[in-house]
Amino acid sequence: MQATTEAIGLLAGTLTTIAFVPQLLKIYRTKSGKDISARMFSLFSAGIVLWLIYGILLRSLPLILSNVVTLSLSLTIIALKIRYRQRPRGEEDQDIGLP
């Protein structure tokens, strides 16, 4: 029974974790995160940290592994959103003060 429970946990963690991959790839390909809510992903990431702590306290491999990977993906999405944020019109053409 324990092995079945662990297998279900690992499968659930894998499926919910890889659900973020298409969003991550879309942001990377389009170089735009304008449709992504930074607040939602920040709150989500905070929740994932708590799930990770919970998994560590329970010594639950499925919780630990899935939340480490999910947190990495979520933080990468936030980082890409920041990296690809749109600048105000005309700013991209301004001189940045280099000689």
Other CB atoms within 10 A of residue 55 CB:
20
The total number of structural domains in the chain stands at: 1
pTM of structure:
0.77
The model's pLDDT over 42-66, given as tens digits with 9 standing for 90+, comes to 999 999 999 999 999 999 999 999 9
Q: How confident is the model at residue 10 (pLDDT cuts 50, 70, 90)?
A: confident
Pair of tokens at residue 34: 């304008």
Q: What is the CATH number of the domain that holds 58?
A: 1.20.1280.290
Would you say residue 43 lies in a domain?
yes
Cβ atoms 27, 79 nearer than 8 A: no
Would you say residue 37 lies in a domain?
yes
DSSP 95: -
Range of the domain at 68: 33-85
